Amino acid sequence: MSANQFSKDYLVVAQNASGRNMKVPLYRFKGAKPGPKVYIQSSIHGAEVQGNVVIYHLIQTLQKQPICGEITLVPNCNPVGTNIKAGEYTLGRFDPVNGTNWNRGYYFDPDNVDAFAKRVGPDESLTQIKARFRDNIKTQIDERLNSTWGLGLAQQLNLKLQQLAFDADIVIDLHNGPVSTRHIYVPEYAKAAASLFNIPHVILIPNTFAGALDEATFCPWWRLQDALSAKRGQTISLGVEAFTLEMGSQEVINFDEGRYDATSILSYLNARGCLQDANYQPDNIQRVAVYLKDYKILYTKQGGMVEYLARPGSRIKQGEPLAKVLNVDELENPRATDTILAPCDVIPILHFPSASVLSGTQLYKCFTHYFDLAEEA
């Protein structure tokens, strides 16, 4: 018998051309004891489906494991993106109507945060500030959703999900790379949290907003805690953390790997006091980190047919081959093949999924100037 209260609702996030509502399920667990509020979603990019299996395993556990606080899980949060197929592939990255990336339409306005920080009274407690800030941001999001001029498909869907996510102290957005090894985006101020997940590759991101859900969560809180720290002359932490987890390749469901990633998330949640009397601990693995500026994209200069030689997660020295390219216009002569070499020492994290590439394709994304997270800390 679980001590958790369980409920299941649906949220309308879009409507198709027949005027039918497109809904996503919201699974909610509420513990008997107080604790952090957690929000976990998956598949905002429609081809990145592995997070749904991770959420399945989390729900299996949460049906038995008593929690402190609340955990909301939203699998397959983008029913539009998952259903856009072209032949064998899912075209899940962009809103097909407006061309915008499905993970770039969340709300953040630094001026609003600054104005809010100015109005915080000297005696106001952190609990009061947090509650009022949540109301403020959710009102801002509401105003945008109700704008007379409307919003694009992706932005509407993003803001409806953000309304839920902004209530949480912990936000976890589950993604996959094209062909990819496990990696995680962690805000620099929450670097210590990176060691609580079983994810060997860590990208530390600064307080800049590019439109993604993790940034839309931590940027406002980070900016507010910096402003309050300056105002009150002491270090203030508002205790909100947000992460993007990239768990291997898109277009793949793997139940065993999903169980591993669910256990990794449970280790983090356990360390943050979300679980009652649980025994989940992070594995003792090596974690390698980069700052975002050192997470480099290697674009192709020419088009061609590619064999990917460097496996995601492997260590490649400067000058060693990453990929071999076949040029069908030169098959009888020495220009038939080209080798693309690593520009410096790298760890390839992901590569393009298809063997046929145009010029200007993001062929690999690589860690450069990487370091051992434990040694840096």
Q: Which residues here bind Zn ion, judged by CB under 5 A?
A: 45, 48, 175
Nearest distance from C-beta of residue 279 to Zn ion, angstroms: 31
Distance CA 27, CA 56 (A): 10
**Can you give the C-alpha Rg of the chain in angstroms?**
22
Cα–Cα distance for residue pair 71/66, rounded to 1 Å: 11
CA distance 181 to 49: 15
What is the token pair recorded at 334?
């020495």
**For Zn ion, the closer CB: 177 or 200:** 177
For residue 102, the minimal CB distance to Zn ion (Å) is 8
Nearer to Zn ion, 245 or 322 (CB): 245
Nearer to Zn ion, 117 or 265 (CB): 265
Q: Which is nearer to Zn ion, 171 or 274 (CB)?
A: 171
* DSSP one-letter code for 32: S
Give the C-alpha separation, 366 to 343, whole Å.
10
CA distances, 334 to each of 207, 308, 357 (Å) = 48, 20, 20
Rounded to a whole number of angstroms, the minimum distance from the CB of residue 194 to Zn ion is 19
139: tokens are: 């009102």
CB of 332 to Zn ion, least distance (A): 42
Pseudo-torsion of CA 241, 111, 148, 209, nearest 10°?
-40
CB of 5 to Zn ion, least distance (A): 31
Task: Report the residue number, 157 or 316, with the smaller CB distance to Zn ion.
Answer: 157
Element (H, E) at 259: helix 255-271
- Asked if 45 and 82 touch (Cβ cutoff 8 Å), the reply is no
Q: Please report how close the Cβ of residue 217 comes to Zn ion at its closest, in angstroms.
A: 16
Tell me the CA distances in angstroms from 44 to 74, 107, 149, 197, 237, one per residue in order: 10, 16, 24, 21, 29
- Considering beta carbons, is residue 228 or 247 the nearer one to Zn ion? 247
Whole-number minimum distance, CB 178 to Zn ion, in Å? 10
Min. distance of Cβ 247 from Zn ion in angstroms? Answer: 10
Q: In angstroms, what is the minimal distance from the CB of 175 to Zn ion?
A: 3
- Is the CB of 47 or the CB of 228 nearer to Zn ion? 47
* C-beta separation of 329 from 163 below 8 A: no
Give the largest CA-CA distance in the chain. 79
Q: 175 or 223: whose CB is closer to Zn ion?
A: 175
Rounded CA-CA distance 133/80 in Å is 31
Tokens of 191: 């670097």
Q: How would you label 291-304 residue by residue, b for 16+ Cβ within 10 Å and e otherwise? A: eeebbbebebeeeb
Say which residue the tokens 């509401």 belong to.
142
For Zn ion, the closer of residues 45 and 351 by Cβ is 45
**Paired residues of 203 in beta bridges:** 185, 290
